[in-house]
Amino acid sequence: MQLGSSPSSSSFSCFSWSSCLFKHTDFLSLSLSLSLSLSLSLYIYIYIYIYVYIYIYIFLACSYICRKVYALDVVGRIPAELQNLTYLTNLHLAQNYLTGPFPAFIGNLTGLQYLSVGTNALSGGIPKELGKLTNLLSLSIATNNFSGPLPLELGNLTKLQQLYVSSCGASGEFPSTISGLKNLKTLWLINNNFTGKIPDFSRTNITSLRMQGNSFEGPIPSGLSRMTNMVDLRISDIQKGSSSLAFISNLTSLSTLILRNCKISDIIPSNFSQYTSLQKLDLSFNNLMGQLPQSLFNLNLLSHLFLGNNNLSGSLPANKSVTLLNIDLSYNQLAGSFPSWASQQNLKLNLVANNFVIGSSNSSVLPSGLNCLQRDIPCNRGAPIYSSFAVKCGGNKTITASDGTLYEIDNQILTTASYYVTETNKWAVSTVGSFSDASNADYILYSSSQFTNTLESELYQTARISPSSLRYYGLGLQNGNYTVKLHFAETQILDPPTWKSNGRRIFDIYIQSIVEEKNHTSSVTPKLVPHRK
C-alpha cells in the first residue's frame, strides 16, 4: 500500500508571525502612547491617520517582506497571537513542522476563505470550532497526526468547495453533515481509518472524489450514479459488501476512474464507447468476469488500463487505440493468440499469470520469459536447479554480503505494466501501477545515505518501487523449507523536524499468495519469514 498525500490548496498571500505580527504589535503600542497626551479631537484625527498607516504598512509588509509561511520548515506550535488577525482571509501554513494541537481559537478567524495546515505534525483532536468558519471555500488538514473523528460541525461550512483530509489520522464514521454540502466540488479523504457505510455524496456537486485506503464498508451507493459531473472518481479497499458497475453508467464525463479492491462482482460493460473523456481506468483486484470488450480498447483518450487480479477470460481484443500504451491484464484467465498491437513500440503490457501458450511462433512478440510466468510457472517445473537466490532490488551491480550471500543485479527498466525474467530463468520480477498525478515518476530510487544497524549499507542504496503491486518470483527452486529474508530501509521520508518527515510507508507482504505481514512499516531490520515451497 502506497500513502498519498493530498496537495494543499492553491498558494495564497500568507502571514508570517515572525515579522508581520511583531510589526503590527509595535504600531498598536505607538498608537496608544500617542493618544494619551492628545486632546479628544486631535486624538481621533491622529488615531485614524495612524490606523490607516498601520493598515497600509502591514499590507506592504506582508506582501513584500514576509511573503509566506508555506514550505519553510517552521518548527513549533501555532502561536496564540494569530487569533488577533480577525480580518485574515488566507492562511497557508502547509509543509512545515508545526506540532501540538490545532488551536480552537482558529474558529475566531471568521473571515477566512482559504485555510491550509496540511503536511505538518499537528496532533490531538480536530477542533469543532472549524465549523464557525462559514466563509471557507477551501480547507486542508491533510498529512498530520490528528486522532478521532471529523467534527460534525464541518457540515456548517456551506460555502466550502474543497476539502482535503487525506492522511490526517481521522477515524470513525464519516459525518453525514459533510456529505450534504451542496457547493463541495473536491473531496479527498485518502489513507485514514474511516469506517461504516460509504457516504452518499449525490447531494453535492463533487467533480473530484478520492476515497482510497480507508475501512469503508460496501456496497458502493447507487446514488453516485446521479453525480454526472464527476471527472475524477477514486475508491479502493472496501472491507465488506459486494458491488456492481451499474452506478457508473451515467458518469460519462469521467477522465479518471479507479475502483481498486472494491469487491466488485460483474462483467465489464460493452458500451464503454460513451466514456469519451476517459484517460485512466483501474478496476484491478476485484471479481470481474467475462471477456474484454473491444469498445474499451478503442477509446481515443485512454492511456492507462489496469484490470489485473480479476477472473477475466477469452482472448485479447483484435485492435486498440494508439494512445493506450499502459495495459495490465496480469492474474486473469486469458488465453489465445497475441494480436499485432502486442508488439507496438513503447507499449507496456503485463500478461503475467494467465493461460497463454507461448512457443517459437509467438515468443518474439513480447519480452522474453513470459512463458515462465504463466499459471503453474512451467519453467524448470519437475527439474529444480536452485535452492536459494538473492536480489539487490534496483541495483546495477552485484554485492557480496558479509555472510557470503551474493545479491544479483536488478536494473531493468520496469514501469507501469512490466516484467523481467533473468536469462538463466532463475528469478523474475513483475511491477504494476502508475503514480497518482506523476506521469514521469521513477520506479527505481537511489540514495547515497549510510544506514545504521547493518554491515551492508550499500545494499539499501537502491530500491525498486511500485504504486500497486511488486512481485518477485523464484523459478526452479527445490521443494523444502525456506526462510525468506526481506531487507527494508526508509530512504525518502527524512528524520524530523522537517515537513519531509511527515509521512508513513505501510504495505502488505504476500508469499505464495498468503498474507504473511499486514500493514508493515519499513525498517532496516531484515524480516524473516519461514515458508515452505
Q: How many CB atoms lie within 10 A of CB 481?
A: 8
Instruction: Say what the pLDDT of residue 527 is.
Output: 52
Instruction: Say what the pLDDT of residue 60 is.
Output: 39
The dihedrals phi and psi of 173, each to the nearest 5 degrees, come to -75, 145
**Of 191, 260, 224, 194, which is closest to residue 507 (Cα–Cα)?**
191
CATH 3.80.10.10 matches 41-195? yes
Instruction: Say what the pLDDT of residue 138 is.
Output: 98
Buried b (16+ CB within 10 A) or exposed e, 342-378: beeeebbbbbbbbebebeeebeeebeebbbbbbeebe
Instruction: Say what the pLDDT of residue 161 is.
Output: 98
pLDDT digits (tens, 9 = 90+) for 343-352: 998 999 999 9
**Beta bridge partner(s), residue 138:** 114, 162
CATH superfamily for domain 265-379: Ribonuclease Inhibitor (3.80.10.10)
Identify residue 482 by its one-letter amino acid code: Y
Q: Using DSSP, state whether 2 is helix, strand or coil.
A: coil
Instruction: Say what the pLDDT of residue 232 is.
Output: 98
Instruction: Say what the pLDDT of residue 439 is.
Output: 61
- Give the list of residues 6+ apart from residue 502 with CB closer than 8 angstroms, or none: 97, 119, 120, 121, 143, 144
Q: Domain ranges for the chain, please list them.
A: 41-195, 265-379, 391-522
Question: Cα separation of 243 and 195, whole Å?
Answer: 17
Instruction: Say what the pLDDT of residue 62 is.
Output: 44
Q: Do 41-195 and 265-379 share a fold?
A: yes
The dihedrals phi and psi of 272, each to the nearest 5 degrees, come to -70, -5
Question: Cα separation of 232 and 9, whole Å?
Answer: 17
The CA-CA-CA angle for residues 263, 267, 270, to 5°, reads: 140
Q: Cell 498598536 appears where? A: 28
Q: Report residue 131 as a C-alpha cell.
A: 465549523
DSSP classification of residue 63 = I
pLDDT digits (tens, 9 = 90+) for 236-266: 999 989 999 999 999 999 999 999 999 999 9
Note if the bond before 497 is cis, omega within 30 degrees. Answer: yes
DSSP 455-470: S-GGGGSEEE--SSEE
Q: Report residue 19 as a C-alpha cell.
A: 515579522
Q: How many residues does the chain have?
A: 533
Instruction: Say what the pLDDT of residue 181 is.
Output: 96
Instruction: Say what the pLDDT of residue 437 is.
Output: 67
Question: Cα separation of 92 and 390, whole Å?
Answer: 47
Weakly modelled stretches of the chain, pLDDT under 70: 1-68, 360-364, 437-440, 522-533
